[in-house]
Amino acid sequence: MTFGINSLSETDFNAVDELRARVADSSATESDVVALQELLSDQQNLEYYCGLAVLESHLRYEGASPGELAGLILPSQSESHSSAYSIKRSRFRLVTAGSVALAAVVCIVMALVWTMPPGGQTASPLATVTAAEHCRSVAGRSVHLGDEFGTERIDLAEGLLGLTLAGGVELLLEAPVQLRLESAQRCVLLDGYVVAKVPEQAIGFEITTPDATVVDLGTEFGVAIDSDRRTVVQVFDGDVETHFNREEHQPKQYFQAGDAAVLSDNGSTEVERIKFDPNRFVRRFPLPESREGDELSPYNTSKLKSVTVAKIETPLQIDADLSDWPSDSTFSAQCDPPYAKTYRVVGRLGYDENFLYVAADVSDPFPLRSVITPDGDPNVVWRGGSVQLRISCDRAIGWPVDAHIRRHDVPLNPSEPRTRLGYRPQDVNPKLAHLTMWHHQPAGKSCLQIAYGMDFTNVNSHPAGWRGRFRQKEQGRGYLMEYAIPWELLNAGDDPPQAADVLAANWTVHWSDEGGRIWRGHLVEVTNPDEPGLTFHRAATWGQAIFE
């Protein structure tokens, strides 16, 4: 019998075997259990572990001593180059129904045992959810007040999550985030943002990242993994100590309130002090809102298949005063009840030989609050409140557009050109553009980001030649926005759209919380009713842009 584990190292083989044996005889310590959990997060290690459990059940069924297991598992001589492992068949038969049933029981029991602390006592939770704002895990599970977590990994896809650890440490996690709880005094940040507020009795609390460890010295501080996989540290109160994880790099760095730094270890360690930014991390939950409903996020049912792109005879003044637009150039959409009055948009599209014009009148209870900088993670610029337009400027393909993200059934090969990594040429068409337009409140400026193709490559966060303006509406319940975007930025300067063209386009409006950082809901409009799917996954879902 051979396990199909072609990359299981001998080190992992021995570690899994040793830890499995300790769990089986109840001698495992808490650190042993944590170590085994970490090993079994790898699918191949998990398969090997289950294989050992199955074999042991066979041994017991046949009346053999579990101690014989060590002599039965050896590296396969015939597969020495693939690191596979074989089990000597010896005198043990692996075919009876009773042994199969017993194997299943052993696997279940052992799976339960290794999640328990030594001695079989019920595990106390490491953390309790004390605040949750529209939280949803990567697996789609909602997170609620009072939920408890043990030594486990938390993958949060949406929302803001507040945890109180057993030692009193308060953590605030901002999605998307991946964090592994290891003890009341230590957690591992794998991705995203977290802020820790540490009481006196928990001084010494640690947050570890792939590169570095941050140790609390009585403080409130934030740790993040940025888009370049570097560690970002910012101290709001008190002091912290940091050091790199590799043994050969042990000098400690100290930071105090008002300090911020980037720590990276790409073969050589580097500490770069950066400007303290009060908007870099979320430190508190949004205040209660005066809005229609609290349980669900605003969303809509798309009703429009097409919009008109008006011919602009006289260049528009880009001042967020939309009175000079043609009166027949508008379309309107709103979120489904109970959000219809508060979350709505009146949109406009126009064109001339030089520019694509985009304008909108957006109802928003918290307008122009975004603190998302164009210099940060390009994947999250929309979250603080924004207008997105997806548009095809390829006159040769018309509508609908057959283009989508990489097919996951096509294996990646980093040595091959990008167009062969599961993408077709039309999937990486540079004339498919995703525009995100928003107002950056701290700088008081309009922003534009453009990504190209359904692979979102060549993201341009600082394009040149465009003009944009936002203006808050009277009563402070919404905003007006207006942009002029050169056709050159959309890779259509040599062949811009013409009258009577029918191309593909889609609108999305995003709303945020009062702090301008946490996404609260969206409206997606102008869609193809015959094509299911997400608009940022499949261009075939985009509706029609009919050029007047």
- H or E, element range at 264: strand 260-265
Using only C-alpha atoms, what is the Rg of the chain? Answer: 28
306-547: in CATH 2.60.40.3500: no
Beta bridge partners of 520: none
Which residues have a Cβ under 8 Å from the Cβ of 49 and sit 6 or more positions away? 16, 20, 39, 40
**pLDDT at residue number 141:** 76
What does pTM read for this prediction? Answer: 0.59
| 16 three-class SS | helix
Residue 168 has a pLDDT of: 94
What is the per-residue pLDDT for 518?
81
Q: Is the peptide bond before 532 cis (omega within 30 degrees of 0)?
A: no
* CB-based contact 393:405 (threshold 8 Å): no
pLDDT of residue 49: 64
Look at residues 74, 61, 106 and name the one whose alpha carbon lies nearest to residue 3. Answer: 74
Nearest 5 degrees, angle CA 292-CA 296-CA 299?
85
CATH of 127-273, one of 3.40.309.10, 2.60.120.1440, 3.10.20.600, 3.40.50.1970: 2.60.120.1440
Q: Kindly report, residue by residue over 48-67, the tens digit of the pLDDT.
A: 666 555 455 444 333 433 34
Output the pLDDT for position 307. 97
CA distance 248 to 240: 21
Q: Please give the structure tokens belonging to residue 429.
A: 């068409």
Give SS3 for 433.
strand
Encoded tokens for 441: 């409140």
- Residues in the chain, overall count: 548
DSSP 325: S
Strands 2-3, 73-75: pairing is unpaired
Residue partners of 167: CB distance under 8 A and separation at least 6: 184, 185, 201, 202, 205
CA distances from 395 to 310, 491, 546 (A): 17, 12, 12
Q: Is the dihedral of CA 92, 98, 104, 106 positive or negative?
A: negative
Domain residue spans in the chain? 2-120, 127-273, 306-547
User: Other C-beta atoms within 10 Å of 499: how many?
Assistant: 10
pLDDT digits (tens, 9 = 90+) for 405-440: 864 444 444 444 444 456 788 999 999 999 999 999
Describe the chain by its helix, strand, coil percentages, rounded to 5. 20, 35, 45
Q: 100 CB contacts (<8 Å, ≥6 apart)?
A: none
Specify the DSSP class assigned to residue 142.
Answer: B
Distance CA 141, CA 156 (A): 9
Cα–Cα distances in angstroms (integers) from residue 183 to residues 127, 171, 188, in the given order: 9, 13, 10
pLDDT of residue 48: 62
Does 306-547 match 127-273 at the fold level?
no
Q: Give the residues of the chain that fall short of pLDDT 50.
A: 1-8, 54, 57-122, 288-295, 407-420
- Which residues fall within 8 angstroms of residue 31, CB to CB, at 6 or more apart? none
Three-state secondary-structure class, residue 208: strand
